[in-house]
Structure formats: C-alpha cells, structure tokens
Amino acid sequence: MTIDFHNRHAKTIMRQLLNAGLEAADPGTGIQRTCKIENQTFVVGRRRYQLNQYERIVLVGAGKASEKMAKAVQQVLGNRFDRGLIVVKDLPTRPLKRIEMCQAGHPTPDSRSRYAGKIVQQFVQSLTNKDLLIALISGGASSLLTAPVHGLTLKDKQQTTQLLLNSGAAIQEVNVVRKHLSTIKGGQLTVSTSATIITLLLSDVFGDDLATIGSGITVADPSTFLQARDILEKYHLWNRLPLPVKHHLRKGITGVVSETPKPDNPRFKHVQHVIIGNSQLAVQHIKKKASQLGLHSSVQSTFLQGEAEQVGNTIATLARDMARTSKTIRRPALLIWGGEPTVTITGNKGQGGRAQECALSVAISIAGLPKMIMAGFGTDGSDGPTDAAGAIVDGETIVRAKEKNLQAENFLKSHNSYTFFKKAGGQIKTGPTGTNVNDIYLLLIL
C-alpha cells in the first residue's frame, strides 16, 4: 500500500489501520474460518456434506474476490473436487490447478462478460442431482457475468447499466433492474441446475442482503418487474432507456414474460448460503488495531450511504465541531465508518470515485483545521474506474493545492477527484486487493 501524504506519522497510522481492515476482509481467511474437512465430511457453517454421496464436486464463481476464494476452497478440499470455473476482473499471475479463469468487464459489462455468462450457464446446466456445486460470489459479479434476456443486446445492457451507475441509485436498486434483464441473475442459476449448491459470499452490501450480493444468482428474488420500472422512473431514466429494455420490462409487468424465481420455488431448498466476510468484520478489526495503537476509537456506522459529497460534508461538520469543543473527545482519537456512498454524475464527467470524491469534499470543508486527517478507501483497491483505492486529506490539503494553482471546488463539481489528488497529492494505491467489503472512512484526530 502506498499513501502519498506529507505527514509521515499520520500516514503510518492510516496504513496500519487500513491494512488491518484488509486482513480481516481477506476471503481466504473467511473460507478457512467457515469451511473444513472432517474425514469424508465437508463442514460448511452448521451443515455437513458427505462427500462420497456426490459424483462430482465443482466450483463456479464470479467477483473481485473469486480468485482468492477459489484458492482457499481448493486448499480445504485438496484433490476432492473435480474442476472449477471462475470469472474475475483481473487475472492472477499464477493459474490455479483444475480451475479455468475468465476475465471480464467491470463496472460496465463487455463482450467478455457475455461470454463468461454463457459458459457459466452451460457449465452449471450440465450438472445433475448427484453433483455438489460450490458457488463463490463477491462484489463485481453483476457486471462480470452477463446473460441478456432474449431480445436484448449487450449494448442495451451496457447503456442501461451506465445510466444506473451515473444516476446515484443504490446498489440494491441497480441490481433489481439487472436481475429483470438477465437469464442468470436473481436465482436463475439455481433453477437451471439439479445440483446441490453451497454458496459462499463475501458481502459488499448493506445488511448482507443475499439477493443483492452479485445480483443473487443463486438466491430467490423477492423483487418484481414493476419495482424495476419504478426504480428507473424514480431516477428519471425510463425515457432514456433503449427501446428493447422498455419493451421487455413492459412484457414482464403484464405477465407476458415470467418473473424471476421466488422464495417458494422448491429448488431453493437445495441451496445453502454462508457469508464469509463483510464490512462489519473489517471495521471491528480496524477498531481493535486502533486500540493497539493507543487511539480512542469509535465506530460511527457500518451503513454509511448517500451522495459522496454530502457524506463528506457530514464528516467534515463532525470534525469542525470536535475542533471547537476539544473537551468532548479524548485524543488521539479515531472515528470509523463502513459503507458505500454514491456519486450522481451531472454535467461533464471527470475521473474519480466515491471515496476520492468524499475525501475531496472533506478537504474543502476542513481547510485550515489542524490535526484532523481523513481517509476514504475502497477495500477492493479500485475506487470507481481508477487505479487508486482512495485518498487521504487534512487541513492543509487545499492550501497545498492552491500553491499548485488547483481549484478544488472545480474538481469536485466535475467529479474529477482522481485528477485532483494525482496533482495535489493524497492518493492511496494498493492495486487489486482480492477482496471487496464496501468502503472504509476514517477520521483521525491527533
């Protein structure tokens, strides 16, 4: 992890805290904590599977953490599984034995995503009731696996996805629409096979909603076509959709097209779902590390959401209040948030992400305040479509930017936070981390 920041002491503390969060969110650790072999029994959470009852044990997965998850399951099972197929955003440097890897597009699906969706469907459909399927799902799977319904093109899906991502819609809302334009999402993978399924999930959504993580490819879908249309109208997107998308949703609302499979479908009795890691776990480990470093820490929320700029304003207001009333908090102190703000794109789009935009908003609002350091950090190592994981700011960030003739407000308005921090300093870079459990936001008061 590299942190471009002038205050070495604060930088060291932030690096240790963020690394603690990443270690807690490591999917390999989560798999090992959840799964084990006892003689010929595969123990997953509270359930036990007699391996000699299955002809084949196979893996299928998609998401930013799927490679690490597959590697960990492989270590637990040893030679007991037959083969695997996983879809990733970034190919690892070393292949895994008996596991085929496909690279696909994120955050907008591409032709590789469509190919990945096709071969995953074919792979799963070939299984029988004598097979055990282990599905590995993490954030990013919704884009990496694409299987448009009949009548929709990849371009239709791409345009619709981009409209939703730019609208500021919450991920739960985005995925409701995605599920109703797909033949694989919203539990449709489950009903396409006769195999027994174990789904291991690394959660990147609020409340660990199984139906939202990776668009719930093995989970019964409680949402409807009507809700999908309502979401699109809520964000004023209905009239901007490709015509085939509108036509398909109308057919679903009127019952011409079947709904996604619902909880009363008997196939879901043959699926186990286990959360192996989430934002709460990462946040608690950061709090523990903070105590070891002598910081008086407090978890403010693990459900942080809203517009990134407004979230930044809220954090900055808290910082200013504490600066004025220093007796109300024991220093050095750390305030911790987990969650995932959104960015609604308006006007010309710059280059940035929610964590960097939030940090830039904080920097503007705390300009001149001493001993206040804030960091916004995407645990997957990629904040929006950038190579930065996030950014770190303090009361001097704007002063240093002005010395370089950078007007922070203009960068914020154009959603160009990445360019701002690249020029002004403050970027946090990790490269792909192999995990994804929402963002971490820290306010350090020295």
Say what the pLDDT of residue 348 is: 66
Return the closest-CA partner of residue 134 out of 188, 64, 80. Answer: 80
Q: What domains sit in the chain, N to C, each tagged with a CATH number?
A: 2-21+280-445 (3.40.1480.10), 29-278 (3.40.50.10180)
pLDDT along the chain (446 residues), means of 10: 95 97 94 94 96 96 94 93 93 87 92 96 97 96 95 96 92 96 97 97 92 96 98 97 98 97 96 96 96 96 93 95 76 94 82 96 96 96 94 97 96 96 97 93 96
Provide the token pair at 274.
């286990």
Provide the token pair at 220.
């019964």
* Threshold 0.85, pTM exceeds: yes
- Please compute, for residue 423, the number of CA atoms within 13 A of its CA located in the half-sphere on the CB side: 18
Say what the pLDDT of residue 326 is: 60
Provide the token pair at 299.
């978890």
Provide the token pair at 138.
């993490």
Say what the pLDDT of residue 323 is: 84
Phi-psi region at 175: left, alpha or beta (left = phi > 0; alpha = psi -120 to 50): alpha
List beta partners, residue 115: none
Say what the pLDDT of residue 94 is: 84
Provide the token pair at 226.
């009507």
Distance in angstroms (rounded) separating the CA atoms of residues 341 and 440:
11
- What are the CA-CA distances from residue 341 to residues 270, 344, 370 (Å)? 35, 10, 26
Distance in angstroms (rounded) separating the CA atoms of residues 385 and 380:
12
Distance in angstroms (rounded) separating the CA atoms of residues 315 and 346:
23
| Segment holding 124, helix H or strand E | helix 111-125
Return the closest-CA partner of residue 218 out of 260, 177, 253. Answer: 260
